[in-house]
Copies of this chain bind each other. A is one copy, B any other.
């Protein structure tokens, strides 16, 4: 199985042939980590890691780094570490949501219970730092631990705001920044830091800002897709956010246009059928297009952050990644 999705072919063409080779090594490393803690963990963590997804964060590490001068072992570690932190949060999110399916497979929590899922997430998180610390860079560990704190803080914020339809856009965006954007930012930061080999590098700040902005756009689009619900999202109903009390941008914007929605208590949305109706009402206000438009603005801002003196292929690849974040399932 190649880890490069079809839509990533253009990115790889622009970024260089080293990218798929390094992605494959990251894939192998993830498998090794899952296998290195006994058969129970291999099964538990392996199923989450193998369910895979797009490996967007490792891809960001590699493309932000540019072509490596050596074998790229440090980039493999950094990409693996970022994906392990992401996997840890997936496992823990599933504990929180008691989700039964993720990407069409049984989740850890469904197959082994909350106990094993909590411990598995902890182990993946610790394993991320064990990978990364081998790069010998304090700044890299700092970037990843900051993102790790942010992820958990974002989760707490989301729980604190659950069922609150009055949540302001700024607070929603803050939550997206913590839950999603900071890890995208960290991925870019790690790539640049590793490429710079411990030297100060002027690309860290702009590429970190690029990563943060496409992370925000990514989360907004995720929230749009939860309402619009394309058929490609196998195994997920529309309106899962509404059902678990997570108030997102489409609902916030729709409430400004539709008095019935504004008067709706989110706790009253109790069935998938009712959630689908509310999704239709949200879509009818144009809030999905306006949300997408916010995401597109952020992608444009992200591209504007890119230093003009980046190698042309790397510049192009980062632009393609940014576009891909909002073109998903569209």
A40 interface contact, C-beta 8 A? yes
11 contacts between A and B (CB under 8 A): A37-B149, A88-B122, A92-B118, A95-B114, A96-B115, A96-B118, A115-B155, A119-B159, A126-B151, A130-B142, A130-B146
Q: Which 10 A-B pairs have the closest CB atoms?
A: A126-B148, A123-B152, A129-B145, A122-B152, A119-B155, A126-B149, A96-B115, A133-B141, A130-B145, A119-B156
- Tell me which residues across on chain B come within 8 A of A127, comparing CB atoms: 149
- Tell me which residues across on chain B come within 8 A of A121, comparing CB atoms: 118, 122
Closest approach, in angstroms, between the C-beta of A148 and any C-beta of chain B? 4
- Tell me which residues across on chain B come within 8 A of A101, comparing CB atoms: none
A160 interface contact, C-beta 8 A? yes
B123 touches A153 (CB 8 A): yes
Cα of A141 to Cα of B143 in the assembled complex, Å: 13
Q: Which of B37, B44, B137, B160 contacts A40 (CB 8 A)?
A: B160
Q: Which of B44, B89, B148 contacts A129 (CB 8 A)?
A: B148
Cα of A88 to Cα of B129 in the assembled complex, Å: 16
Interface magnitude class on chain A: 35 or more
Task: Please give me the residue from chain B that is nearest to A119 by CB atom.
Answer: B155
Cα of A142 to Cα of B125 in the assembled complex, Å: 13
A138 interface contact, C-beta 8 A? yes
Against B, the Cβ 8 Å flags (1 = close, 0 = not) of A77-92 are 0000000000011001
Task: Please give me the residue from chain B that is nearest to A142 by CB atom.
Answer: B133
- Tell me which residues across on chain B come within 8 A of A37, comparing CB atoms: 149, 153, 156
Cα of A127 to Cα of B142 in the assembled complex, Å: 10
Q: A38-B153, A142-B133, A153-B37 are in contact. Are A96 and B119 (CB under 8 A)?
A: yes
Give A105-148 interface residues, CB cut-off 8 Å to B.
Answer: 113-116, 118-123, 125-127, 129-130, 133-134, 136-138, 141-142, 144-146, 148
Task: Please give me the residue from chain B that is nearest to A39 by CB atom.
Answer: B160
Q: A129-B141, A129-B148, A130-B142 are in contact. Are A156 and B114 (CB under 8 A)?
A: no
A41 interface contact, C-beta 8 A? yes
Give A189-230 interface residues, CB cut-off 8 Å to B.
Answer: none
Closest approach, in angstroms, between the C-beta of A155 and any C-beta of chain B? 4
- Tell me which residues across on chain B come within 8 A of A138, comparing CB atoms: 133, 136-138, 141
Cα of A37 to Cα of B153 in the assembled complex, Å: 7
- Tell me which residues across on chain B come within 8 A of A113, comparing CB atoms: 159
Given contacts A116-B156, A123-B152, 15 further A-B contacts (CB under 8 A): A38-B153, A38-B156, A40-B156, A41-B156, A88-B122, A92-B118, A114-B114, A115-B159, A120-B156, A122-B152, A126-B152, A129-B144, A133-B142, A133-B145, A137-B138
A123 touches B95 (CB 8 A): no
